[in-house]
Amino acid sequence: MVTENAPDSFYRTKLGLGVWEHRGKVAATGVGHSPTARRWDGKPETSVGAFAIDSIRKAIADSGIDPSEIDGLVLDASTTTGAHWEEGAPIPMDVVNAWNPTDDPLDGIAKLSAEWIIKNMPELTNVKFTMYGPGCMSRALVVAAQAVGDGLTNNCIVLKGWHNLEGRYYQGGANALDTRPGTAALSTLWGTPASYGTALQFAAYCTKYGKNHDMMAPFVVQERANGLNFPEGFWAQHRPEPLTIEDYLAARWIAKPANLYDNDIPIMSTAAYIFTTAERAADHKQKPVYILGHASSRTNAKSLTPSLQEVEDDTYFTGQKIYEGAGIGPDDLSFENMYDGFTLFHQFHLEGLRYRGVQNGEALDFYATDISNSGPNPTSPSGGNAGSGRTRFWMHTDCIQQIQGRAGARQITGVKPEVGVSGGPMPLGGDFIVWSATPN
């Protein structure tokens, strides 16, 4: 079986496509999370491959179906954005040989292939469809939704794994090379941190609208509070430390005006979901959460670092595509779970959606309202990456669990959680899903 990246036709990147042809015909049921860790300790049982198997088995069990009923697997093969295996570093063959390896010895250690998963999960006896949604869980979810809708798979695992190795993040991979090709030679020449571009956009935002960084505090503090109510998250599992406004305002700068708490913490973790048809979902254990639509942004900025205007234009355009495909409007959203990997760009997503009527330049004032899960304006109820660590999947799990009514201490109570939206990562370039309690 050869696994390929999803074709461009799987993604809804244009406005004017109308309502998604599979609206309400695809549903999520089971959810599975592995444990979390700050870094890999070098053991086979804590590798990203082992974590992936753990999360898949939990998702299947959560859905209440037999593993033999799984006939599809969609995943992102990459498992890091900045913890790359150092070229020439010795490969731990004891870990490799603890599993059924593929031709790539780093498979299951610093990457994941569909082949590795299937070789190491003998209970998956009926998988006939595999595909990659490269880059993010959000992209894998879009691919899986389209694949189920198109009839390519009936019960599909959607998987995303993250590894984190010893050493400083973003010091390996392309950043370790002596030369950089193309525009990267200009944009990364000075070794700027990953949040640098977002920091520039946020600084421009504050200047344009007369805002300041301190106004982010209520949002970031709420993110941590929500994350501490996410038992699968890193902070909840390992460092259950509340964040105060004073902590946030006193934090050191990483790329001013982005401080320490505006940056997510890299961790190890995996998550898996079960996607199925609306008809089959009725036989699954958990309440179905229906997918009303999906949309993608593939905008190429004209600037080396996208300008504030480019970001605002694209997030609004993306919001329009999201609503068109799902057949809803801003007033239909019960809550939003847009990406927050750098907290300073969450408001671009929120404003682009016109969530609760918020227009450009108004989000920081909106953060001063009751944005808690018990209030009328639940905002990023998952806590996102800021609340649970860098994975890009907390937001999706939360949407499913909120609508299923099993988000525990995070459960939204200020409004009835019937329709939610999640996705990311960056304001320019991302994939988004609308989730619903009903297929209509």
Q: Residue 180 pLDDT > 70, yes or no?
A: no
C-alpha separations of 251 from 212, 247, 254 in Å:
15, 6, 9
Average pLDDT over residues 258-284: 98
Residues 346 and 225: their CA atoms lie apart, in Å, by 17
pLDDT at position 265: 97
Interacting residues of 249 by C-beta distance below 8 A, sequence separation 6+ = 214, 217
* Band of residue 174 on the pLDDT scale cut at 50, 70, 90: low
Residues 147 and 1: their CA atoms lie apart, in Å, by 17
Cα 428–chain centre separation: 15
Q: Which strands, in side-by-side order, build the sheet including 430-436?
A: 4-5, 129-132, 72-75, 155-162, 269-277, 26-33, 289-297, 430-436, 419-425, 335-338
Q: Residue 204 pLDDT > 70, yes or no?
A: yes
**What is the overall mean pLDDT for the chain?**
96
* Band of residue 172 on the pLDDT scale cut at 50, 70, 90: low
pLDDT at position 186: 59
The CA-CA-CA angle for residues 366, 257, 302, to 5°, reads: 90
The sign of the torsion formed by the CA atoms of 322, 326, 328, 331 equals negative
pLDDT at position 184: 65
pLDDT at position 173: 59
Kind plus residue range of the DSSP H or E element containing 223: helix 217-228
Q: Is the peptide bond before 257 cis (omega within 30 degrees of 0)?
A: yes
Q: Residue 266 pLDDT > 80, yes or no?
A: yes
pLDDT (tens digit, 9 = 90+) per residue, 404-414? 999 999 999 99
pLDDT at position 183: 64
Average pLDDT over residues 388-407: 98
Q: Residue 246 pLDDT > 80, yes or no?
A: yes
| Nearest residue to 265 (alpha-carbon basis) of 389, 166, 161 | 389
In the 8-state DSSP scheme, what is residue 55? H
Average pLDDT over residues 149-169: 96
Average pLDDT over residues 381-403: 98
pTM metric for this prediction: 0.96
Residues 99 and 94: their CA atoms lie apart, in Å, by 9
| Nearest residue to 297 (alpha-carbon basis) of 201, 420, 198, 427 | 427
Query: What fold, for 4-169+267-281?
Result: Peroxisomal Thiolase; Chain A, domain 1 (3.40.47)
Q: Residue 291 pLDDT > 90, yes or no?
A: yes
Calculate what percentage of the chain has a pLDDT beyond 70: 96
pLDDT (tens digit, 9 = 90+) per residue, 76-125? 999 999 999 998 999 999 999 999 999 999 999 999 999 999 999 999 99
pLDDT at position 185: 63
